[in-house]
């Protein structure tokens, strides 16, 4: 199940993307109208066709999908989503970090699946900027957790410099 509301830029908004090949076995034809998000395998197989649809197309990745497979597409893709089958499966954090830092993806990066409010702070740090919580979780109260920490020791996508490059420079220490 995917939620009807997602968190984007810190606010709860209605979902605007349709995920393909996620809840049912993959059926390529007919694809739904409007903005769609397709699995990596379909993207690789039908890339030219999908690019000529005339409506936005994003790609969603499984935890073991190699983000490098999208290296040539990150400049044009508007949307990439990373699935978390279980919130304890941390591979997606590295996937996001690599998409942002190594491959330079600047579009919307979505974490979805078994995602809860207690993961949001870290997910945001590694480069996710939109979040589809598990449907039974309330996105409205969850946004509070973006403020769990005001300081971080190590750099990440949100702020590459570790604390040690800032200590004593803000008059705080």
Partner 1 sequence: MYRYDAYDHAIVQERVAQFRDQTRRYLAGELTDDEFRPLRLQNGLYIQRHAPMYRIAVPYGLLASRQLRKLASIVRRYDRGYGHFSTRQNLQINWPKLEDVPDILAELATVEMHSNQTSGNDIRNITTDHFAGVAPDELVDPRPYAEILRQWSTFHPEFAYLPRKFKIALNGAATDRTVLRIHDIGIEFVRNTEGELGLRFYAGGGMGRTPILAPVIRDFVPWRHMLTYTEAIVRVYNRYGRRDNIWKARIKILVKSLGVEEFARRVEEEWALLQDSPHIVTDAEFDRVARHFTLPAYELLPDIDTAYEHALGTNKAFARWAGRNVHGHRQAGYAAVTLSLKKPGIAPGDITGEQMDIVADLADRYSFGELRVSHEQNLILADVRKRDLFAVWEAAKAAGLATPTVGLLTNIIACPGGDFCSLANAKSIPIALAIQDRFADLDYLHDIGELDLNISGCMNSCGHHHVGHIGILGVDKNGSEWYQVSIGGRQGNNAALGQVIGPSFAAAEMPDVVSTLIETYLELRHPDELFVDTVERVGIAPFKTRVYSENKELARAA
Quick check: 78 binds partner 1 (CB under 8 A)? no
Q: How far apart are CA 110 and CA 123, in angstroms?
A: 9
Give the chain's end-to-end CA distance (angstroms, integer): 47
Among residues 10, 34, 104, 160, the one that binds partner 1 under rule CB under 8 A: 160
Binding part of the chain for partner 1, among 8-16, 29-37, 54-62, 118-126 by CB under 8 A, reads 118-126
* 72 sits near partner 1 (criterion: CB under 8 A): no
DSSP string, 25-74: ----SSPPSSSEEEEHHHHHHHHHHHHTSSS-EEEEE-TTS-GGGGTTTT
Q: Which of 87, 108, 143, 146 binds partner 1 (CB under 8 A)?
A: 87
Asked if 97 touches partner 1 (CB under 8 A), the answer is yes
- Residues β-bridged to residue 51: none
- Interface residue list for partner 1 (CB under 8 A): 87-91, 93-95, 97, 102, 116, 118, 121-123, 125-126, 148-156, 160-165, 167-168, 172-173
């Amino acid at each position: 199940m995917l939620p009807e509301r997602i968190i984007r830029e810190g606010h709860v908004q209605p979902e605007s993307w349709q995920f393909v090949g996620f809840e049912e076995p993959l059926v390529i034809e007919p694809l739904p109208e409007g903005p769609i998000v397709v699995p990596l395998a379909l993207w690789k197989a039908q890339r030219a066709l999908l690019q000529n649809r005339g409506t936005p197309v994003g790609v969603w990745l499984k935890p073991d999908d190699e983000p490098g497979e999208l290296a040539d597409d990150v400049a044009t893709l508007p949307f990439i989503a990373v699935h978390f089958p279980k919130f304890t499966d941390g591979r997606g954090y590295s996937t996001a970090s690599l998409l942002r830092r190594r491959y330079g993806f600047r579009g919307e990066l979505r974490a979805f699946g078994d995602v809860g409010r207690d993961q949001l702070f870290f997910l945001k740090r590694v480069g996710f900027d939109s979040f589809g919580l598990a449907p039974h979780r309330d996105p409205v109260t969850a946004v509070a957790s973006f403020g769990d920490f005001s300081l971080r020791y190590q750099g990440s996508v949100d702020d590459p410099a570790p604390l040690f490059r800032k200590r004593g420079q803000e008059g705080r220490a």
